[in-house]
Amino acid sequence: MRNACIAITIDDQQWSTIYGLHHVSAAAALRDLGVDSVVVRAPSPVRSASNPRDVLADRPWVESLQNAGLRVFVAIDLFDDRALLERFPDARPVNALGEQSWAPPLDGAICPTHDGVIELLSAHVATLLDVLAPDGVTLRSAHFPGFWPDWTIEPDYPFSGEDQWCFCDRCRAAFAADAGITLSGVSIGSDAAGILALHRQPWLIWRARRLTLAIDRVLTASGARSRGIETMLATLPFVAADFGGIDVRRTIGGQDLAMLAGAIDTFELVTEMQVLNRHPVWLGQVVREAIRQLPGSRSVLCALQISPHHQGRNRASQIDVGDLSVTADAIRQAGADGLVLSSWTDLLADQFAGGRKTALVREIIAAWS
Ligand SMILES: [Zn+2]
């Protein structure tokens, strides 16, 4: 087995704004916790293009983390960004019912086949690499639209045409040309129904390939590839058998792990158990199936959720140390290559509430080394 990777996400500035840490002492605290990598959220591409100092402001923080011996991944949302949609209104995706995604939580969803979006994202990642000099990039929201945290069982999430994306003019025309077919053109809904009824498999493969190509274009055009930057992908955690065997990661999200293995080094399965309302037993299938779909050279990490994030849909209202311990054991026993602790802000809050989870996390990390 390769060396385990223990990463932690830092999606906000609370370590400074609430807890008053200086970036040097914050980096030292993370090193003392025992993690080897941190995943820090980068400014959004439109914000950084209008104010490059936003990116520059993060440089001392990244430098302190690296000086503390930690590997730094910068995280960007590829296809979920309201400001990007304002810049490129024709990147707003369309579902199989012919509806555009105006309502939250999908109001920031972006069609992955838009050239202008891909070029702007590539320039943004190039700026992040130049200014912040990170060790890796973590790509989030790199899938076709879908608010997958709501894809719980008990209650089962009901999939429908509302969840099938993207049938915008650009996607329909490009698929028809690539498949050598003619669409009726009567309406978006009738074109979508025809594609799903008569050309379902080529359509699913085409979507997964277009998503992989979009990711590969961003990594190549930004220089991430030529610089040898490590690439991590936030990956939908579901197994093919979930939801009656419809393989939602591929057929709804468009993420095909075997295809993506050509572009991505490390796959973070976003196994947020409280959000997804799942039992730890499920984790064994999740990890083993991902490992089966990937070449042995690719790493599989699992998210370890520290505190509750969403309510409703029969979700638990808390995560106690027992839940954390059982989940971490299940991840390790399933053969994952490591953890992505989510998040540092939650652990900082725990330290002011007695630190029981923090103490357990130290034990969990020690068990991996
Ligand atoms: Zn589209």
pLDDT digits (tens, 9 = 90+) for 8-21: 999 999 999 999 99
For the chain, the structural domain boundaries read 5-94+103-157+208-368
Q: List Cβ neighbours of 9 (8 Å cut-off, separation of 6 or more).
A: 38, 39, 41, 75, 340, 341, 342, 343, 344
Residue with tokens 């990661």: 249
Q: What's the CA-to-centroid distance between 82 and ligand 1, angstroms?
A: 16
Contacts for 265 with CB less than 8 Å, ≥ 6 apart: 136, 230, 231, 232, 298, 299
Give the pLDDT score at 330: 96
Cβ–Cβ under 8 Å, residues 114 and 88:
yes
Cα-to-centroid distance, 111 and ligand 1 (Å): 5
Tell me how far the alpha carbon of residue 215 lies from the centroid of ligand 1, in angstroms.
15
* Distances from the Cα of 333 to the Cα of 143, 271, 326, 336, angstroms: 28, 15, 11, 8
Q: How far is the CA of 41 from the centre of ligand 1 (A)?
A: 26
Instruction: Identify the three-state secondary structure at position 232.
Output: strand
- Measured distance CA(209)–CA(263) in Å, rounded: 11
Biggest CA–CA distance in the chain, Å, is 64
Cα of 204 from ligand 1 centre, angstroms: 13
Centre of ligand 1 to C-alpha 230, Å, is: 28
pLDDT averaged over every residue in the chain: 95
Backbone angles phi, psi at 183, to 5 degrees: -95, 155
Distance from Cα 172 to the centre of ligand 1, integer Å: 7
How far, in Å, is the centroid of ligand 1 from the Cα of 110? 8
Report how far ligand 1's centroid is from the alpha carbon of 165 (Å): 7
Q: How much distance in Å is there from the Cα of 338 to the middle of ligand 1?
A: 35
Q: Give me ligand 1 centre to Cα 176, in Å.
A: 13
CA of 326 to the centre of ligand 1 (A): 41
Centre of ligand 1 to C-alpha 170, Å, is: 6
| 3-state SS record for 129-193 | HHHHCCCEEEEECCCCCCCHHHCCCCCCCCCCHHHCECCCHHHHHHHHHHHCCCCCCCCHHHHHH
Q: What fold does the segment set 5-94+103-157+208-368 form as a domain?
A: TIM Barrel (3.20.20)
Cβ distance 309 to 263 under 8 Å?
A: no
CA of 171 to the centre of ligand 1 (A): 4
Indicate whether 1 pLDDT > 60: no
Is the pLDDT assigned to residue 278 strictly greater than 90?
A: yes
Range of weakest confidence among 47-61, 100-114, 163-177, 338-352: 47-61
pLDDT band, residue 198 (cuts 50/70/90): very high
Cα 210 to averaged position of ligand 1 atoms, centre (Å): 10
Per-residue confidence (pLDDT) for residue 2, from 0 to 100? 67
State whether residue 124 is helix, strand or coil: helix
120 has a pLDDT exceeding 60: yes
DSSP annotation of 247 reads: -
Instruction: Compute, in angstroms, the gap from residue 208 CA to the centroid of ligand 1.
Output: 13
Question: How far, in Å, are 13, 142, 212 from residue 138 at the CA level?
Answer: 18, 10, 15
Who contacts 252 (Cβ-Cβ below 8 Å, separation ≥6)? Answer: 144, 146, 148, 159, 163, 164, 246
Q: Tell me the pLDDT band of 234, cut-offs 50, 70 and 90.
A: very high
**Mean per-residue pLDDT, 351-361:** 96
| Distance between Cα 136 and ligand 1 center (Å) | 28
Q: Residue 49 C-alpha to ligand 1 middle, in angstroms?
A: 24
pTM above 0.85, yes or no: yes
- 299-334: per-residue pLDDT in tens? 999 999 999 999 999 999 999 999 999 999 999 999
Ligand 1 centre to CA of 167 (Å) is 5
Residue range 62-90: mean pLDDT, rounded? 96
Confidence band of 151 (pLDDT split at 50, 70, 90): very high
* 233 CA to centre of ligand 1 in angstroms: 21
Distance from residue 217's CA to the centre of ligand 1 (Å): 17
